[in-house]
Amino acid sequence: MRLKLYPENIIEFIALLLGKLPTPLLETYYGGAYSKSLIAGLRLGIFDSIKDRTKTAEEIANDINCDLAGLTTLLNALTGFNYLDKKGEKYSVNKKVRNWLLKDTHNSMKNAILFTGDVFDIMNNTEEIVKSGKVNDFHNQDKPDSFWNNYITSLAKFAHFTAPEITKKAMTMRNPLKLLDVGGGHGIYSMSFCKRYTHLMAKIIDLPKAASIGEKIIIKEGFSERITYIKGDMREVNWGKGYDIILLFNVIHTITEYESLKLIEKSYISLNDKGTLIILDSEHTGGSKKLSATSGFNELMFFIITGKRTYSERNIRKWLTNAGFSKVKKKNLFTIPMTLFLNAIK
């Protein structure tokens, strides 16, 4: 998926068509402008301030304790970027904001975007990190509890949106009884599989701080009797055996290539015959072809924040085959189309 410049009038359309516009400059300018403005709006609480009624800039400023002049400029920017509507002197949220950005809505991506803002703060040092190759993995356990809360709850919110389709499209035996969710701290995917298979019991492996937050989510959702946690590093703890399903969701890009191979081999050993390993990770087209925007940027982003990278589908398939898996099948997901979703049968 790629973002694209869209002209707002006939002059801009003609200039863009004739190649007269400096598109690299405009893509840099507007890409940063959109993300910086939206993240600032969420951090300041602008959208939730006017979710119930229209307000003037002065009313919003009083509500969120913000300078009026500075706030007015941000409100107008958000209006220009189609995140706010304006009628007279009053601002209101539009359908896009109501669907995705308010904290109390079912599909809210607010926490996920706020966490993206935290990631972008780290990426402000991209050139220094690329030049030195020195990275401080943001999964470091010394991170404060507030970081882990934002991280896990944002992943949980996104997983709520994608889990039903993933569970429906997963290749599993008819009545699986045991599931292992590796690195699935928030527990949303495990709960989704438990809802689909009434006799399924699940275990989740994750770092202690992530697991502690996940446990609260599991209890709140009423699944504490069917889902338990193994707290520790997935590369070091004892997984146990006898699983019918193992999930490796968004973990391969957090470890090295060698560790990824070993994780897949460990999955094979831990599965029952005919059991399924399901991999969900960022897409990476790899090979000699031109990378998609998602592939290219995610490889950079994961290096900047963890020191690791995304791996190509071709390599992951090779690791699965070498580990002994058969019937490796790729499926497309409509809720998260820029991802790799592989099912492999032991």
Exposure b/e, 10-25, CB count within 10 A at least 16 = b:
eeeeeeeeeeeeeeee
- Predicted local confidence at residue 288, as pLDDT: 63
Cα-flanking dihedrals φ and ψ of residue 195, to 5°? -65, -35
> pLDDT tens digits, residue range 89-139?
999 999 999 988 998 777 788 888 888 898 888 888 899 999 999 988 888
Q: Is the pLDDT of residue 213 over 90?
A: yes
Tell me the per-residue pLDDT of 303-332, one tens digit each, with 9 for 90 and over.
Answer: 898 888 888 888 999 999 999 998 899 999
**What pLDDT, on the 0 to 100 scale, is given for residue 138?**
81
At 35-58, the pLDDT tens digits run: 999 999 999 999 999 999 999 999
- Confidence class for position 24, pLDDT limits 50, 70, 90: confident
Quick one: pLDDT at residue 39?
A: 95
For residues 333 and 162, the answer to whether their CB atoms sit within 8 Å is: yes
What value does the mean pLDDT take over residues 248-271?
95
Secondary structure element (H or E) that encloses residue 169, with its range: helix 145-169
Average pLDDT over residues 171-193: 95
The pLDDT value given to residue 326: 85
- pLDDT band at residue 207 under the 50/70/90 scheme: very high
pLDDT band (50, 70, 90) for residue 22? confident
Mean pLDDT of 214-224: 94
Beta carbons within 10 angstroms of residue 162's beta carbon: 20
Per the CB < 8 A criterion, the answer to whether 174 and 199 are in contact is no
* Cβ contact 171:345 at 8 Å: yes
DSSP at 89: T
Three-class secondary structure of residue 34 per DSSP: helix
pLDDT at site 212: 93
Query: Please, what is the angle between helix 110-122 and helix 145-169, to 10°?
Result: 120
Q: Contact, 188 vs 211, CB < 8 A?
A: no
- pTM score: 0.81
pLDDT at 16 over 80: no
Range among 27-41, 79-93, 140-154 with highest mean pLDDT value: 79-93
Determine contact, residues 214/187, Cβ cutoff 8 Å. Answer: yes
pLDDT reported for residue 337: 81
